[in-house]
Amino acid sequence: MADALLVLIVLVNLSLLGGRRIAGCIGRVAVQGLAVSVCALVAERAPHPGRLLLLAALGVAVKGLLVPWLLRRAMKTAEVVEETRPPVGFTASTVIGLALLGVAFVVAGRLPAVDPGLPPLMLPVAFTTMLSGLLLVIVRKTALLQVIGYLMMENGIFMAGIALVSGIPWLVELGVLLDAATAVLVMSAVIGHISRVFDHVDMDRLRNLQG
């Protein structure tokens, strides 16, 4: 089951890199958040099933429900529907994402072996999710898509922690979820304010403002 979830996460990475419509990208990052939460439940090595069930439930609530709701509200406030004329095209972004997947496998192969009980794809998928999120932040102009890129990076960091650290402390796991929800809440409010003041959320146009 874990391998199927990891493959799903990779496919979501590629579809997000090639995604144009904001609503579709929000739905995909919600699916990725759900997959990461369930994958943590399947792959975690700590002998505390009750704690893992609670963390998985919190992950589903935050990543699969709260964060997508905040993003959809920000999308309606900003009245933005899709990305137009990005610096790097959608097809090119997907191709770069495939290249990053190869880089992630090379990097993961040079690290010390993780617990043999973990799926071998866990660490490479974590790295490619972080790199894909960073790429999305760099090559997209719409603020909402950059927020989605940040969420992808957070998902990758969470997975890397599972793969590299045995039994992540309870407070650290809760802190990651809280940080993600808080960051999206703040960024959604900022996006709404930018939209009301400037009538757009195009980051390139905001950089060109003279003050």
Q: Name the band, by pLDDT with cuts 50, 70 and 90, for residue 206.
A: very low
**71-115 pLDDT, tens digit each:** 888 787 777 777 777 888 889 999 999 999 999 999 888 877 666
Task: Give the pTM.
Answer: 0.79
State the Cα–Cα distance between residues 87 and 91, nearest whole angstrom: 12
Residues in the chain: 211
DSSP state of 202: B
- Evaluate the CA torsion angle 71, 77, 81, 86 in order and state its sign: negative
- Asked if 46 contacts 115 with a C-beta cutoff of 8 angstroms, the reply is no
CA distances from 73 to 14, 81, 106 (A): 25, 12, 39
> Whole-number mean pLDDT of the chain?
77
State the Cα–Cα distance between residues 12 and 152, nearest whole angstrom: 10
State the Cα–Cα distance between residues 208 and 148, nearest whole angstrom: 23
**40-61 pLDDT, tens digit each:** 776 655 555 666 677 777 778 8
